[in-house]
Every structure is written in structure tokens, then in C-alpha cells.
Structure 1
Amino acid sequence: MTTLSTGVILYGPPAAGKDTVTHALVEADGRYALFQRLKVGSGKTTGYRMGTVQQLADLEAAGDVIYANSRYGNTYVIDRPGMDAAFAAGVPVVHLGQIDGIRVLVDGYEADWAVVLLWCPQEVTVQRSAGRGDSDTAARLAAWEATRADLDAHPDKVWDLTVDTTTASPEESARLIDQLLARRAGAAAA
């Protein structure tokens, strides 16, 4: 029996703590690393591999786009070569804001995916977005609403773990995720 590589998907609205929890995971255990999606567009570059329209077209032509979505005027891509490299390096942590994206990734890239819902109320998204100096808080609030609607439209989604980031610190959230993966590894070995 072949053991699948393990990956983590963090799902949640803007400012729920995906970046902060990922940082805590990396600090706690160097096996974890943010999967840097290919971003075609402008704006924030940290945490992304910036790409061009031609690179995206080449990936599409090769059948190497696992999932792509558009938000904030940009296109964000999970690509097979990038995912292969991320798994070769350790345990990738993928940030997603759409349940359809989770389904496509889980079905489209063979791995043992742990899916974690990070949640915060809308007013916390407003506070955190303002606190980090976002210039597009209104767009982030629209994305929060879209995430809420996405959750309401998919009541059947079963999370491997749900973390309220208003009550769990980033370090506690990372510990819970790491424990989840340890339990899954133990169950697979049994």
C-alpha cells in the first residue's frame, strides 16, 4: 500500500488568519511551507509566485492548471508543477477561499489533504484588514460575504478541523493542525 503525501488546505474568509497560522506552522515545524500560488496581476506579491498571462496560457495548454480563480482583479493559480515542487519540499499549506477550489484540488491532485476551516466574524475581518493597512477592505468584506454564502450553499462540507481564530492563538491553531496530521498519520500506519 502506497502512503500518500500529506498537505493542508486552509479555507476561510479574508483576515481569518491563513497567513498568520501558516507562519506559526512553519515556525513550529520546518516541514510546513506555504504553497505559493501563481498570481497573474498586480498588488501584493509576498506569498505568491508572480506570473504572466503567457505563463498561465502555457500552463493551461499543458493541462497543468489544477485550479484557478479570479478575485481583486487578479488570477490565482494552483499549478501541477508548483504543487509537485511543494510536496517534494515538505508539507504544503494551500490557502483557498472557495469550497469549489477545495473540491477541485482534492479531486485533482492525489494527496492526503487535511482541510481546515479558519473562521472569524465579519467585524473581525474589518478590524484586522484595517489593522494591517489593506487599501481594499471593501473588497475583502465582499469576499467575506462570498465565503459566508459559499458555506451556506455547501452545508454538507465536513471539515477535518474548524478553528475560531478569535479564540485560538496562531500557535494554538498550528498545534491543533499539527495534531490532526499526527492523528491521521497514526491511523494510516495502523
Structure 2
Amino acid sequence: MSGKHGVVLYGPPAAGKDTVTRALTELNLQYTQFARLKIGSGKSSGYRMGTAEQLHTLEEAGDVVYANARYGNTYVIDRPGLNAAFEAGVPVVHLGQVDGIQALVEGYPADWALVLLWCSRDETARRSEGRGDADTTARMAAWDATREDLDMHAAMTWNLRLDTTTASPQESARRIDQLLAQRAEATTS
């Protein structure tokens, strides 16, 4: 793939963003999950842990593309992190807010493929409990917020919609990879 191509996976908690990203990486090593900067505590896997001072420095430099607070932490998409991710390959950015997608698309020029991953509220609860999440109640509240977010942004255009209760992670990855290959071909034609 030539040029700057990235993937945004949007969906509620437990919709399969991590699982589909792993399947993408297995399909093609160019795909790599973008590790957001996380200011706070808790799960550190998949994040670059940072400090309030680092966040302040990024804000002063105008390098915060998007930041949001959830689960008592602040999650940051930063310009230096995106630069490094694009140098390494094709970043896969996980988001649960349409405002974050809009900020990313407007704030960091690249060919972003926007993918909606979805599963029902009941499936989210089943998956969260099944993997032993200690904060299933908070994840269900986040599912509700994601549904409201989608309803508020009904005009949002998605390049691909995948129901992860019916599409396997491997099938989802293949479809995303095909989408990016088509988009890359279109930009070189």
C-alpha cells in the first residue's frame, strides 16, 4: 500500500476491536494497533502510559489530535504517536466516539478507512463477563453511550459495517484488508 492509509475501528466495548486488530495483524504484519497515550491507571497493555505533564506538553505544542475521559482515565491520540505509527505501517485506531473519529480525520491527514464494528448490548454483557472484566457495569454504560452517539450522528458515513456476532474476526479482517487494498488502488490510479 502506498501513501498514508489507516483504519479506524469504532464500536462499543466488547465489539471486537482488539480481536479484529489481532486478526488484521495475522493477515498482514503492516497492520498495527495504534497505542493511545493513557493518563491514569489500570490496564496498560495496548497503551503508552503517560503523565499529566506529558499531556500538558502535547497540548501546548498543539499535538493532541483527540482526548477523551473514560473509566477514570484520559486517552489521547497524539500527533507524534500517529507519526510513529504510520512510519511502522498501517495504524489501526480504536475509538468509541464519533467526535474522536471526526477529530482524527480532520486533525491528521491520511486516508482513513472508517469501520463500524457492532454487537448487541446482550452480546457485550456476555463477552465482558466471559472475559472476566471487573467493570462490566461501566462497559454497559459505555455501550449505551455508543448507541446514543451513533443515533446522534446518524448521517455518519462508514466505509464498512461489520456485525461481529455473525462475522468472524478473520472474515472481518479480510474484508477490512480488501477495503484498504481497493482504496490504495484507487489513489494510485
How high is the TM-score relative to the length of structure 2? 0.98
**Structure 1 residue 166, shift from structure 2 partner:** 0.2
Corresponding position of 2:45: 46
- Distance (Å, rounded) in 2 between the aligned partners of 1:131 and 1:67: 31
- Distance (Å, rounded) in 1 between the aligned partners of 2:176 and 2:135: 30
Percent identity between matched residues is 68
**Residue 14 (1) aligns with residue 19 (2):** no
Structure 1 unaligned blocks of 5 or more: none
**Residue 167 (1) aligns with residue 166 (2):** yes
Which SS does the other structure have where 1:129 is aligned? helix
**Structure 1 residue 149, shift from structure 2 partner:** 0.2
**Residue 31 (1) aligns with residue 51 (2):** no
Residues 4 and 110 in structure 1, CA contact (< 8 A), matched pair in contact too: no
1:187 partner letter: A
1:112 partner letter: D
Which SS does the other structure have where 1:167 is aligned? coil
Corresponding position of 2:96: 97
Equivalenced residues, count: 188
18-27 vs 3-12, greater mean Cα deviation: 3-12
**Structure 1 residue 4, shift from structure 2 partner:** 3.8
Corresponding position of 2:119: 120
How high is the TM-score relative to the length of structure 1? 0.98
- Distance (Å, rounded) in 2 between the aligned partners of 1:175 and 1:153: 30
2:186 partner letter: A
- Distance (Å, rounded) in 1 between the aligned partners of 2:3 and 2:153: 27
Which SS does the other structure have where 1:143 is aligned? helix
Corresponding position of 2:87: 88
- Distance (Å, rounded) in 1 between the aligned partners of 2:63 and 2:180: 27
**Structure 1 residue 93, shift from structure 2 partner:** 0.2
